[in-house]
Amino acid sequence: CVYHGWCFGGAGDCKFIPQAPRDGPPVHTSSKACVAAYPTYVQNGILWFWPNSDPQYKEIHLKKTPHHIPELDDPSFTNATITRDIAYGYEVLIENLMDPSHVHYAHY
């Protein structure tokens, strides 16, 4: 989780919670700390995922390949990162102020 730094295994099992006390119980092993695992496929540096955790879709990328973007195969193709200011309300500000544990991971 890039927002709080939690680390998960490929099956959705939690491996590490940085905010958990080191000398406390292993909270990362709780079933409440697990997440759904979705089939994924990387093509041209893009991570594609199938939003269904049903085991029948585990190898879905072999049957339904992601859309091919030929420009990404061209070494002369360039892309750019663009930033912009986005207005937001006080709710987002308060949420971020009340949740400082995400700062190190989300605002690097």
Q: What is the CB neighbour count within 10 angstroms for residue 102? A: 16
pTM over 0.85: no
Decide if 54 contacts 72 (C-beta within 8 A): no
Dist CA 30 CA 45 (whole Å): 33
Domain boundaries, the chain: 1-37, 38-98
Q: Indicate the DSSP class of residue 39.
A: -
Dist CA 44 CA 79 (whole Å): 13
Supply the pLDDT for residue 60: 87
In this predicted structure, the answer to whether residue 1 has a pLDDT above a threshold of 80 is: no
Supply the pLDDT for residue 11: 86
For residue 76, name the pLDDT band (cuts at 50, 70, 90): very high
